[in-house]
Chains A and B, each alone.
Chain A
Amino acid sequence: MQQFEEIQASELILGRALAYLSAERNGISRIDASQLSSNESEIFGLLRDRMKLMHTGADFTGMLPPGPCETDKPYLKDNEDIFLAMLILASHDSELKGECNKIWTHLNDCYRCFDYFCKVMRGYSLKTLELLNKETNHEE
């Protein structure tokens, strides 16, 4: 985890790396790590290795604190595994609903986590849309 924190340059890079991972997982795009920036590439590699160790996302959403985070540091900032858990859960529709509810509840409870989540996922959603567009154009 220490290594992860050192490499993470910004929420945006984390978001983009998650988007590459999600695209690869869902077969949207084959990711060539050499085409990514060095930061994105390293985080992408770390996330991919880490995800292989995670069996189910539910183990992680259950650890979200009840109510808002008490410290100045949002829980999500120290626990990037939550983002990976979301990607895993997204591929299991039946489990998704209840687990996502835990995530929404915490984000609604905790302004700092919501703020951090939105910064990370902005990079994720923009990159995902870009990869989807690229794929659509490629198919045409």
Chain B
Amino acid sequence: MHSSLWSMFNLHSLYLMQNLDSPLPFTQLLNYCSDTKSPYWQSAWSEFLNRYKDNIYRYITKRCSSWNAPRLKRQFSDTVNDAVTDVFIILTKNDCQALKDFRERDNEIKFLSWLAILCSRAAGRYMRKNFLPQILDGEIEEIKESLHSVDPDDRWELYETIVSTLRQASQKERDINILLTYTWADYNQEMISTLPCFQNMGHRVVDNVVNRLRNILKDAQNL
């Protein structure tokens, strides 16, 4: 997937590149990259890659490193490459609308901050989509450990993903809360049964609820 990105930039763009002032001023580079009809579009993107590729890889690597999914370490470089590709898809889709929407066109520092946020969100989305099923596949203690090691920003979004997936599967609010209290907050069954709203709860309810909801999440993420 990564090589297809580079194939966008052909000899023609290299020829055009010679006709550009190099390096391009930041505003001009951004304007050429945002304008798909510009004759300099491809060569401008080639320069964009030269200038910002390292930053993008650094932002993505940092975000992906914060996850502790069991199989992530073995697939780390593929994961980073795929998330980087997602970033370029976001930047170029809909006639480069994301770049067109960036307003501070004369401020490269602000652009880099914007790019860092975009990369972080893209990597977070990629990780949630691809590694939540892997996290859920482990033993319950591994799941707890994995959830605790996730970056705080991802934790929040992961929490909302879990709740929304379980609500779509018409699960009771009580059961969603049991799963989260058990796995996320690391309570054991005995502790949960002392909570005022969970009093009179039958024996083994926690085990049953946690296993059932975990399977629902795994199935939903594998769709």
Q: Which residues of A approach B to under 8 Å, CB–CB?
A: 22, 86-87, 89-90, 93, 96, 100-101, 103-105, 107-109, 111, 114-115, 118, 121-122, 124-126, 128-129, 132
Could you tell me the distance in whole angstroms from the C-beta of B11 to the nearest C-beta in chain A? 51
Residues of B within 8 A of A90 (CB): 196-197, 199
Residues of A within 8 A of B173 (CB): 101, 104-105, 108
Considering the complex, give the chain B residue whose CB is closest to the CB of A119: B185
A135→B185 CA distance, assembly (Å): 27
Given A107-B180, A118-B181, 16 other A-B residues pairs in contact with their CB atoms under 8 A: A90-B196, A90-B199, A96-B197, A101-B174, A104-B173, A105-B173, A108-B163, A108-B176, A108-B180, A114-B180, A122-B185, A122-B191, A125-B191, A125-B192, A126-B191, A129-B191
Within 8 Å of chain A (Cβ to Cβ): is B65? no
* 5 residue pairs, one from A and one from B, having the closest CB atoms: A118-B185, A90-B196, A100-B197, A104-B173, A125-B191
Residues of A within 8 A of B197 (CB): 86, 89-90, 96, 100, 103-104
Q: Which residues of B approach A to under 8 Å, CB–CB?
A: 155-156, 159-160, 163, 167, 173-174, 176-177, 180-181, 184-185, 187, 190-192, 194-197, 199-200
Main secondary structure of the interface of B (DSSP, over half): helix
Q: Can you report 16 residue pairs joining A to B where beta carbons are below 8 Å apart?
A: A22-B196, A100-B174, A100-B196, A108-B167, A109-B163, A111-B156, A111-B159, A114-B159, A114-B185, A118-B181, A121-B195, A122-B185, A125-B190, A126-B191, A129-B191, A129-B194
Residues of A within 8 A of B185 (CB): 114-115, 118, 122
Residues of B within 8 A of A101 (CB): 173-174
Could you tell me the distance in whole angstroms from the C-beta of A15 to the nearest C-beta in chain B? 11
Check if B174 sits within 8 Å of A86, measured CB to CB.
no
Check if B194 sits within 8 Å of A86, measured CB to CB.
no
Residues of A within 8 A of B196 (CB): 22, 86-87, 89-90, 100
Considering the complex, give the chain A residue whose CB is closest to the CB of B179: A108
Main secondary structure of the interface of A (DSSP, over half): helix
A104→B175 CA distance, assembly (Å): 9
Residues of B within 8 A of A118 (CB): 181, 184-185, 187
Residues of A within 8 A of B195 (CB): 121, 124-125
Considering the complex, give the chain A residue whose CB is closest to the CB of B163: A108
Residues of A within 8 A of B155 (CB): 111
Could you tell me the distance in whole angstroms from the C-beta of A18 to the nearest C-beta in chain B? 9
Check if A124 sits within 8 Å of B174, measured CB to CB.
no
Residues of B within 8 A of A105 (CB): 173
Could you tell me the distance in whole angstroms from the C-beta of B160 to the nearest C-beta in chain A? 7
Could you tell me the distance in whole angstroms from the C-beta of A106 to the nearest C-beta in chain B? 9
A38→B184 CA distance, assembly (Å): 32
Check if A124 sits within 8 Å of B194, measured CB to CB.
yes
Could you tell me the distance in whole angstroms from the C-beta of A87 to the nearest C-beta in chain B? 6
Could you tell me the distance in whole angstroms from the C-beta of A92 to the nearest C-beta in chain B? 11
Could you tell me the distance in whole angstroms from the C-beta of B81 to the nearest C-beta in chain A? 31
Residues of A within 8 A of B159 (CB): 111, 114
